Amino acid sequence: MNPHLLANIACGEDNQKEFPEPLLNSYRLDLPITINNVEILPKNGVLNLRSFPLLNNLPWVKVLPDLEPKVNTECWKFPTPQEGIVNYIAPKLLGELNPDNKKIESEPSEEPSEIVDILLEKDLTRVKPLKDMFQFKERLMYLLQPPIEEVFIGKEVSLPFKPFPYQIKGIAFLMPRKSALIADEMGLGKTIQVIISIRLLFRSGLLKNVLIVCPKPLVINWTRELKLWASDLPVEVICGNTEERKVSWNVSNTAVKLVNYELLTRDVLEGVAGNNFYDLMVIDEAQRIKTKESKTAQAVCSVQRERSWAMTGTPIENRHDDLIHIFEFVDPGRVPKDTPPKMLASLTSESIIRRTKEEAAPDMPAKIIQDVFLELTPAQRQAYDLAEKEGVVHLNKLGDTVTVQHVFELVMRLKQICNFDPRTGASSKAEQLLADMEEVQATNSKAIVFSQWVKPLEELASQLKDYNPLMYHGKIPSHQRQGVLDQFKKDPKAHVILMSYGTGSVGLNLQFTNYVFLFDRWWNPAIEDQAINRAHRLGQKSTVFVKRFISQKTIEERIAEVLDAKRKLFADIIDHSGLPSSLGLNEEEIFNLFSCSPRSKKIAA
C-alpha cells in the first residue's frame, strides 16, 4: 500500500487528499579528528616481557598499574559538623574555660551545635582562598569547606596516625596553591603533608594525575609513605629499560607516578617521557635544581603542569640564587634572576611555608651539639706540617697560574691527614670515637658516624668491630641499602652505622638513634644539618647528642671558623633582613685559608 495513503488514513484525512512530502534539510558536519600514534613496541616489533616486583614485595620499587585505575572522588560538599568533632577537642577547650577542673553541668536548653561553632572558630584549621583568586566560584568553594580536622575525625579519610597541628596547617597551606615551596626543617614530616594534600585533592576531583620526582635513594621511602598514608591511590614507579619506561610514561593511566631525577632527566632529553600534562608535579629535595643551567633543572622545568610544589629543608645551600632557581620551577617568572637578596622575602613569602622544630614541636627532645677539639697524634702532626709546608710552597711556585682547584687539592689532602696518618694509620679522632662508643653501648643506644670519604669509614669499621658496625655509602648497591637500615634498627647488637654525607644525609628516618658523630666536617653547614636531622626528627624520644670532631691548629679549625660565621644566611632570609651572598666558602675565603690571594681570572686563564 502507498505509504502516503496510509499516512492520510491515520491522520483522518480524505483518501483523495495527498499527504504533503516531509521537508528534509541536509547539513554538512566537518569534525576535526586528531590521531596520536604512541610507539609501544621497539622497531623490530618484538616486545620483551619482564616481571615487575609488586609493592608488597621488598624492595618496593614497582607497582603494577591498572590500565584504567579507579580513584574514588567526591565533589566538594558542605556537611554539617560531625558529632565526633566535639569529642575531639571539647576536653581541651573546656579545660581552658575551667582550669580548676570543676564539674560543669549544662542546662537542658544548650545545644551541642553551639559548642561545635565555638570549637570551629577557635581550634580548627580551614583552607583559605588565596589573594590572587579572583573567580567568585573558586573563592566560595574554599570558604565553604569544613575544617580539615573534621575530615580526619569522620570516616571520610582514614589515616594511620593523627597529624600534628602544624602538619594540618601545612596541608591547608598546600591545598589551594598552584605554586608552593614547603621548607620545613628536616624531620618535621614534609612528605606526609604533601601526600595527605594530594589525597584530599584527588577526593575533591581537583587532581587526576600527579608526578612525583625525588632522588633515587628516596624512591623506596616514597613508596612506603604512599602505601601508608594514601593506600587508596594507585602508584607506579617509573623504572626499567627504555621500552618499559616508555609504556609507563605514555600508556599507563596510573594516578600517581614516581620517578627519580636521573631517569626523568634522561627520558625528557631523549623524548621518552612524551609531552604529558600533569595536574600536579612535586619535586623532593628541590635543591637538586638550584643550578639553572644543569640538565636536571632544565628537564624538571620543561614538564607541563598546572600545579608546582617543591620540598626542601635547605632551599639555600650556598647562596640566595639557589632560591631564585628553585622558583623557576615553583612559579616561573615570579622572581627575576637579578633580584637582590633583600627583596626575596617579599616576592616569595606568599608561596613559602617554613617551620623549625622549636616552633612546630616545642616538646621535642633537645639537640645538644658539641665541638670536640682534638690534638693530632705525633705521627699525624708530623705528616700534616710537612704536607702543608710543601703544599704552600707549591702554590707559591704556581704564581699567577694558581687556581682554586689547586687550593682545594691541598685542603682535601690535609683533611684526610686529620682523619688518619697515611703512614701509620694513627688517628686522634678514632681514639675519641672508640671512647665515646663505650658510652653508646653501655646505654644500649645507637650511633651514626658521618664522613666525607668512604676510606675512613672502612678503616673505622675494622676498629669498631666490637660494636657490629654497618656500612651505608655510595659503594653499597641501592637494592641492599634498605636491608642495611632495617638491620640497624632491629639488631640490638648493631650499635653504629657508618655513613657518607652524600648517601646518608638526605631522606632517611633514623629517629631511633640518639648519637651522631661528624668524623670530619663538610664544606657546607646546611649539609651537616641534614645529616644531624636524620636522628633529630619527629618520633625521637631521647635527647640527641651531636659531636663534631675538629683537629686543632689545622685547616679544619680555620674552615669551622669561616662556616660558623656564615650560618646566619638562611635565618636572615626568613627574618626578611639583609644577607651575605654565600653560605659556603667563596674563592677568596678558600685562598685565605693559606694566606694566599686569588689571581685574576684573566691571568689565571
Q: Which residues contact 582 (CB under 8 A, 6 or more apart)?
A: 318, 319, 566, 569
Cell of 39: 610507539
Confidence band, pLDDT 50/70/90 cuts, at residue 11: low
In this predicted structure, the answer to whether residue 1 has a pLDDT above a threshold of 70 is no
Residue 566 has what pLDDT? 64
Cα separation, 315 vs 526, in Å, equals 10
pTM of the model: 0.60
Domains of the chain: 66-70+164-361 (3.40.50.10810), 76-99+113-156 (no CATH), 367-592 (3.40.50.300)
pLDDT one-digit tens code per residue, 114-172: 444 434 445 677 777 676 665 666 667 666 677 777 777 766 678 888 888 889 889 98
Residue 37 has what pLDDT? 58
In this predicted structure, the answer to whether residue 559 has a pLDDT above a threshold of 70 is yes
In this predicted structure, the answer to whether residue 89 has a pLDDT above a threshold of 50 is no
Pairing of strands 304-311, 277-283: parallel
Residue 545: in which H helix or E strand, if any? Answer: strand 544-551
Confidence band, pLDDT 50/70/90 cuts, at residue 26: low
pLDDT one-digit tens code per residue, 261-300: 999 999 999 999 988 999 999 999 888 888 888 899 999 9
Cα separation, 459 vs 462, in Å, equals 6
pLDDT one-digit tens code per residue, 356-396: 877 777 767 888 888 888 889 999 999 999 998 888 888 77
Q: 394 or 42: which carries more pLDDT confidence?
A: 394
Cα separation, 6 vs 260, in Å, equals 75
In this predicted structure, the answer to whether residue 321 has a pLDDT above a threshold of 50 is yes
| CA distances for 106 relative to 91, 94, 113, 115, angstroms | 14, 12, 13, 11
Cα separation, 3 vs 19, in Å, equals 9
In this predicted structure, the answer to whether residue 489 has a pLDDT above a threshold of 80 is yes
Helix runs in 204-286, H state only: 219-229, 242-250, 261-270
